[in-house]
Each structure stands twice: as C-alpha cells, then as structure tokens.
Structure 1
Amino acid sequence: MNTSYDVKFWEIQRRTDRKTSAFLVRWTVARKPKSKTFRTKGLADSFLSDLRQAAKRGEAFDLATGLPLSMLESEPSGPSFLAFAQSYVLRRWRTSAARTRETDAYALLTLVPALVADVPGRPDAEEVRQALRSHALLPEDRRTELPREQAAALAWLEKASLPMSALGEAGTLRLALDAIAVTFGGKTAGANTVRRKRGVLHHLLEQAVEQKLFTTNPLDEIKWTPPKAVTVVDPRTVVSPAQARQLLDAVPKVGRKRGARLKALFACVYYAALRPEEAADLRQKNCTLPESGWGLLILERARPQATKRWTDNGQTHESRRLKHRADKETREIPIPPVLVAILREHIEAYDVAEDGRVFRTETGGSYSSSAYSYVWQEARRLAFTPTQVASSLGARPYDLRHAAVSLWLNAGVPAPEVAKRAGHSVDVLLRVYAKCIDGQQDHINGKINDALE
C-alpha cells in the first residue's frame, strides 16, 4: 500500500448544480485531489474533522482512497471494481445480444486494468487483457483454463483492483476517462469508441447506484466533453443507381463461385435497404416473389456475426430478433421487380439451406463479414475507375443501404414510410440518412441556376 503524509484540506463546498442539497469535502494526498459528497453539512463537517484529526496525529494517508490508515481499516470498501465489473457482465448476459456483450467486455478491458492501485509486480498489459477476455469476464461455464502467466496476471489484478468506493472520487473517474481516450497501443481512440466505452462506464455506475453503493451517479458530476462523433452519412460514400447497377453486375465476376452466390445478397441491401445481418437470415418463407410486378419481404430475424465466446450457441453467427424490435416483431418491405427477378434466379440456381436461408455457403454455412467484404472490394475494382476505387464511394457493402434510403427520400417517399421499411425511427432517419446520392449535384445545380436566371 502506498501512503503519504503530504495532506492538505479545503473548505467544504456547497453543490448548487443538483436538485437536492449536497456538500463536497475536498482534500489532496501527495498533491492528488480527493473528494467526497454528503447530503448534509453536518456529515461533511464530521468527515472533514476526522481527516484533520488523523493528520494532526501524524497518520499516513492511503494514496488510492485518500483516507488515513485508521479510517481505511474501518471504512467498508465494498466490492472491488473488478468484482463489480464481473457481476455487471453476468447480470446483463442473459438479455444481451452477443455484440452487446462484446462491447461491454471491450470497454472493461480498458477500464479494469486502469483502475488499480500501485501494487508491485504489475504484469504485461496484454496478459491482463487476455485473462479478462478469456476468463474473468465470462460466465463460469465458458471460462478457459488460464496459462500460468495469465493466472498470475489475474491474481495481481484481483489484489490491485480499486474498491468501488474509489469511483466516487473525481480523480479516479478522470483516470478512467483518460484510459478510454486511447487505444491499447497508446494512440488516440476514435470518437465512437470513446463514446461507447464511456456509455458502458456510465451504465455500470447506474447499477452501482441501484445497489446503494452511491447515492447518485458520480460520473454525472464530471465536466467532460466527449469527442464529436460522426453520426450522419457522408454523401461521398453514397452510390447512384447507375453505379449500384455497375457494382452488382461486377460482383458475379469475382472468384469462381462466391461472387455469383453473393450478388443477390448485395441486391437485397441496395433494393430493400436490408442490413447485411438481416439478409443473412432471410428465409424463403419470408419472400413473396411473383412472376411479374412488385414482391414482398417479411423480415423476422437477423443473423449478426460475433466472436464465438460471446454468442449463446458458441458459433460466429446466431439468429436473433430484429434490431430495435421486440422479439417476434416483423418488418415488411415491398421490393421492386428487379430484386424479385434477382432473388428468383438466385433460388433457382443455388436452392436454399436446410433451414430455409436464402443465402448460404456451398457447405450450408453463413458468409463471414470478411468474405463478403473481400468480394465487394474486388467488385469495386472491376466497376469503378482508379480514382473512385481510392475514394470512399461505396467503400463498404453497408453503403448500399445508405444509398437505398437516400434514394427513397430523394424520390419523394414520405419519411415515415421510409423509416418503416428501413427499420428506423423517423428521427434517426432524418438525422442520419437524409443525404443526396452521388451524381445529383449537376442536376441540383442546374435547377438553382434556372431559378437565378
């Protein structure tokens, strides 16, 4: 335990940024700021008096908690951050999707190793993360036996992990926020990554409030501005109808068979605005494909990809309810004749999987994101000019969905109907997807020019 005799105290501060009265006790230990909030002035006075009396007696103060040793021994520390993080993951496991579990764990891989005391023998950072990833942050029946180095790393972490009570201090929370702002390699983390990790920390502390470890969420008291994340579609990524057709025509030319088997999947993303995970679980029974005219897709489930350790079935793909929908809730999407024809040809050529899935590998499995992303990049090289290939135009298969929704909006389809087909709220639709498609700028400029004449 690291201690110091360098202690300074500040006057009690009344908090005016809360609905109820609150009083903040502030002090420093070895120049590190510490604080604790109380609901009444009397409690704050009593606590500050205890600290001052300990300092007068010449007691050492603990650097991690900021408390004198006599108070530290009597202070109920509660669970460690590691122990609470483990219980947090387990409480959410049954009701969370695999990707949500993975997001929680990824944030905790950053936070748990950062919120530790200065205990000698700190192990290699990657050994600590691996011990968390494959053991500590999984249910007991999914844990692997740890190699000697990782077992030692976990033992150190259990000893060093700060008590949850330490997260009531501004300095500790600042330490956590600093940690999520960088990658494991020490570089500045992306804005979306930082926001996701901060969201996990906030939700974890909300559960700590529910369990009476804190009276309010201490993270709400930290003045911290998250990095600005991109939440709108970049118009430069959105392909025009002509470009989409060029790409879809190029897909079958990739590889001997894989490209041909994937054309209809990409067509579903473009013509029906399906998410790739929704196309992956599309069943023949979900498709109404008349010989002529418009058809209909009735989506029931999605088939997202995740790391095996986080899925219920232990496979990389598992069928789950639709995004933003209740279990067994469906979504109906009318599809144009061009997509009807493509799906009919696909089913006739390749049949369907045993469970009725329209899109399957030759062995009946699901395509990995890396597999269809490779085909997509090769199709871009065949369909686009070198300048376009180097640009962000249609850079990802998901950009076909952006193009579809933008096309519908620009064609004058009412926003509520577009949102219904795309599986979004109207608010999200207008904020994220209402963008012009590539190739319309000359037409729009011409209309403006006509108006100016």
Structure 2
Amino acid sequence: MDNITYSVRFWKTKTYKGAKVTTHTVRWVVGGREWKEPFRNLAQAESFRARLMTAAREGEAFNLRTGRPISWKREESALSWYAFTLAYVDSKWPYASPNHRRGIAEALTDGTEALLIGEAGAPSRDLRRAALRWAYSTRIRDNVLPPADLIHVIRWLEQQTVQVAAFTEPGKGATLARAVLDRVSRTKEGELAAPNTANRKRMVLNNAMEHAREMGLLPANPLKAVKWTKPRTLTTVDPRTVINIEQARRLLTAVRRHGERGARMQAFFGCMYYAALRPEKAVDLRREHLVSLPDDGWGELRLTNAEPRAGSRWTNNGQPRERRALKHRADGETRPVPIHPELVTLLRAHLKEFGTGPEGRVFIGPRGGLMTDRAYLKVFHEAREHAFTPEEATSALTDVPYSLRHAAVSTWLNAGVPAPQVAEWAGHSVDVLLRVYAKCVHGQQSDAMRRIWDATRP
C-alpha cells in the first residue's frame, strides 16, 4: 500500500506553560512528516505516546495520511464532529488572518448546529453558540480555562454531535450534508442569508470536509455528492451607491463641521475617497507612509501595512486590531498610491492642526487612542444626513464608508486611467478590478446618453 510506512521516530513530549493552562504535546515523525497531538494532562499525553511506541515496536505499519497505526482506523473514524472541528481550527489557526479565523468559526458554529444528536437536556442556543465561539479560538482555548457558565455546555457538545463517519452511511450521509448546507444558507433567525455570506460559509465547510478526507476520516467530500444550487452573489459595485466629486466635497465638509471628532476625520474619509484606501489602511496610516505632500500638485503614498478589525478573540495579540501585510500581498510588499491635490491639502491641514499620534499614526482619537469603528461610523452617518438632499439621504448613495473607495476606483477608471495602473493603486488584480469596480460614477448617466445622442443624431 502506498499510504503506509514503517519509518516512525518519536520526540520528547513538549510542555508549554501558558498563563492559566499547561499543554503537553506529543510529537512523532511518520515517513518524514511531523505529527503533533496536544493534551492538557501529562498522564494522558504519556499514555498516548506509549500506545504509539508500542505499535511501532510491534512492527505495525503507520498510516501516512493520519500519522496513526493502521489498526487505529476504526477508532479514528469514530471521531465526533465537535472534536474534528477543534482539530481543523487548530490546523488553520497559524496560517489564517484574524478575520478569516472569525469566518471559520462562524461557519463551523452554524454547521455544528445542524449536526447535534438531540435536544434533550440541551443548554440554550445562545449558550451553545457562546461555547463554540470560545472553543474555536485556538489562542484562548490553549491558554484560558472556559468560563464557569460554559464548562457544562462544552462537556455536552463533546458528547452530542454526530460522528464524522456518519457522513459515509447510505442515506444518512446525504441528509446530514444537506442539513449543513441548508443551515449555512440561513441566518440565526431562519431567514435566507445574504448570498455572499452563504457562499463564504459553504467554502469553509467544504474545506473542512476536504481536510477530513485528507486525514482519512472520510473517503470523499460529502458536500460534493449533494446537488445544491449556490446562491447568486453580487460581484459588482452597485452604481447607485457611488458618489460624484460634488457630493463627496459636500460630505467631507459636513464631516469637518461635526465638532472636534469630525475635524479629525475629514482627511480620514478623504483618504478613502481620493486615494481609495480601505478603512483598515486609513486607520493604520503613519507619517512615514506620506512620501510626498507638496505645497502644490500631487503627492504620493507608499502603503506597507493594514490593521483590520477582527475582534480580540481572533488575533494573536489579544487586541481588536492586528497589524498585517497588505491584503493579498506578502510581508514586506508595498503599494504606491497618488495623493490627489485636494487630499494633499486636507492632509497638510490635518497634520498642522493635530500632529501625529503614537508610532507616527496620522489619525487618532481626541485622547490619543486608535480611530475606532464606532467613532467614525457615528460621524459618517450623521454627516451624511446633513450633506445630502432628502432624496440622496434616503437612497443607497454612499450608505457605508467603504463606498467612498468604490467611488475613487470608479473615478479613476472613468477618467481613462489604464486598468493595470488602477489595479496597482487599488491593490487588486486587473481581473477583479474590471469585474467588481468598473462602474460609472453616480450622475454620469446623463452625460453618457448625451454623447451617444451626439454620435447618432441626424
């Protein structure tokens, strides 16, 4: 058989002492590949290691896909869905961004709800979901004991999810797979979920099933055996949300008039509109990124990092935000962006009035803290009400700050800037750029129709 080997070596059990929890990790090598299994109790770790060593001494073959003796196959196939998801989360944690970790946890939480054995004696749904959120944070689970009100819930979950092998049972497997797909396609309240959300969760569950197949727990991905129509996703920017330059100037002026907080945020929102920065990049903007701010004309930005908000549960540092490389780029890569003359003026005025904060941050709160989502969203929505006409305010026009970025990219494209150049400035591939952002700025339809009429009239 190609998937077995007799080449097995054992390493010393590694002990890690966290703030509140000590973890003992058994380590061994099968066919050149290292395997690890963590335990909270040293006796359990040594017992597991002894079983492995006994199998090796007795000349038993080891499975290259699972790292276990082949005689353990039946035992492995009896793994519960809950235990499997913990192993899956742990395997993804070191390589996933904080927001992706959160997305994995959300998908697995919904999927697990569809795979409970029964409701008899079950804790409340809110408690079950809270326990799963705790369990799916590897950093917290490895270092902090579960809250007292969740201990019994976790014990219940350990016993009340189906076995992974149930997906292989004729008839039952397809029913379970369909139940999982149906659950991730709906909200917690049972309504149809947004297509993008449903498909994102479906991708996570599909990847988890592939992981189970690679581990030898399943012969094939059960989700692929179910005929399922994926919801249509919105892949293009709705032109009704995109503002023109006159509307943008009105909005930025209204932000400025919103007291001291607004004054601190005028250039912040200006970076989104004129330089197409995502909110997490504007939050992370440092003085060193402002390569050029001339007295007159265009300036230049050189972006190096972003600081997306994922929540303290999903970051490595335990803070709501964690500084990372630019989206879709390797560590150390940078991205140039031109600074529109009007944004140069805003930034120069901002630095003169407020200076910079810790670590050279350009945008900080009145007390020197980070620019928080809650703070800038409040100012944005209140300024929007003052800046727009009643018809504009009740429409979808720039209903979220991210729409300012859409307007910037659309403006560049409509101005005739070549797509490869716009893609570099915006941090996209050309394919994504043309598929998602190639929309006209709000208000240009009449101009387009006039040009068509001029070209076709007698």
Match of 1:362 in 2: 366
Structure 2 Cα separation of the partners of residues 225 and 356 of structure 1: 50
Structure 1 segments unaligned to the other structure (5+ residues) = 1-73
Shift in Å, 1:123: 2.1
Pair 1:438–1:76, CA change in 2 (3 A): closer
Match of 1:425 in 2: 429
The yes-or-no answer on 1:285 pairing with 2:288 is yes
SS at match of 2:300: strand
Pair 1:76–1:329, CA change in 2 (3 A): closer
User: Which of 137-146 and 82-91 deviates more?
Assistant: 137-146
Shift in Å, 1:434: 0.3
User: Which of 186-195 and 403-412 deviates more?
Assistant: 186-195
The yes-or-no answer on 1:146 pairing with 2:147 is yes
SS at match of 2:118: coil
Decide which of 155, 179, 198 is 2:183's aligned counterpart: 179
Match of 2:132 in 1: 132
Decide which of 383, 386, 411 is 1:379's aligned counterpart: 383
Q: Is the 8 A contact 2:137 2:314 kept in 1?
A: no
Shift in Å, 1:133: 1.2
User: Which of 98-107 and 206-215 deviates more?
Assistant: 206-215
SS at match of 2:95: coil
Structure 1 Cα separation of the partners of residues 130 and 75 of structure 2: 33
Match of 1:59 in 2: none
Structure 2 Cα separation of the partners of residues 130 and 280 of structure 1: 29
Decide which of 248, 260, 263 is 2:263's aligned counterpart: 260
Structure 2 Cα separation of the partners of residues 361 and 130 of structure 1: 32
Shift in Å, 1:76: 5.8
Q: Is the 8 A contact 2:164 2:218 kept in 1?
A: no
Matches within 5 A, 1:10-89: 77-89=77-89
Matches within 5 A, 1:400-439: 400-439=404-443
Match of 2:336 in 1: 332
Aligned pair count reads 379
Match of 2:71 in 1: none
Structure 1 Cα separation of the partners of residues 322 and 75 of structure 2: 46
Match of 1:203 in 2: 207
The yes-or-no answer on 1:249 pairing with 2:253 is yes
User: Which of 312-321 and 419-428 deviates more?
Assistant: 312-321
Decide which of 312, 320, 323 is 1:319's aligned counterpart: 323
The yes-or-no answer on 1:95 pairing with 2:95 is yes
Pair 1:125–1:351, CA change in 2 (3 A): same
Match of 1:16 in 2: none
Give a deviation string over 1:180-199, Cα, whole Å, max 9, x none: 12211222221111111101
Matches within 5 A, 1:288-307: 288-307=292-311
Match of 1:3 in 2: none
Structure 2 Cα separation of the partners of residues 161 and 399 of structure 1: 42
User: Which of 85-94 and 412-421 deviates more?
Assistant: 85-94
Q: Is the 8 A contact 1:135 1:146 kept in 2?
A: no
Q: How does the TM-score come out when normalised to structure 2?
A: 0.80
Shift in Å, 1:224: 0.5
Q: Is the 8 A contact 1:405 1:422 kept in 2?
A: yes
Match of 1:212 in 2: 216
Q: Is the 8 A contact 2:284 2:305 kept in 1?
A: yes
Match of 1:397 in 2: 401
Structure 2 Cα separation of the partners of residues 137 and 329 of structure 1: 29
User: Which of 120-129 and 228-237 deviates more?
Assistant: 120-129
Give a deviation string over 1:373-432, Cα, whole Å, max 9, x none: 111111111110111111000111111110011111011000000001000001110000
Q: Is the 8 A contact 2:137 2:313 kept in 1?
A: no
Shift in Å, 1:222: 1.6
Match of 2:444 in 1: 440
Shift in Å, 1:325: 0.6
Shift in Å, 1:217: 2.1
Q: Is the 8 A contact 1:113 1:157 kept in 2?
A: no
Q: Is the 8 A contact 2:86 2:135 kept in 1?
A: no
SS at match of 2:313: helix
Structure 2 Cα separation of the partners of residues 137 and 182 of structure 1: 23
Shift in Å, 1:134: 2.3
Tell me the amino acid that sits aligned with residue 127 of structure 1.
Answer: L
Matches within 5 A, 1:155-174: 155-168=155-168, 169-174=173-178
Structure 2 Cα separation of the partners of residues 119 and 312 of structure 1: 35
Shift in Å, 1:119: 6.3
Q: Is the 8 A contact 2:105 2:136 kept in 1?
A: no
Match of 1:107 in 2: 107
Shift in Å, 1:213: 1.9
Q: How does the TM-score come out when normalised to structure 1?
A: 0.81
Aligned Cα RMSD in Å? 1.7
Give a deviation string over 1:250-288, Cα, whole Å, max 9, x none: 11111x211000011111111111111111111101102
User: Which of 378-387 and 423-432 deviates more?
Assistant: 378-387
Structure 2 segments unaligned to the other structure (5+ residues) = 1-73
Shift in Å, 1:349: 0.7
Q: Is the 8 A contact 1:202 1:219 kept in 2?
A: yes
The percentage of counterpart residues that share the same residue type is 47
User: Which of 211-220 and 196-205 deviates more?
Assistant: 211-220
Pair 1:383–1:76, CA change in 2 (3 A): closer
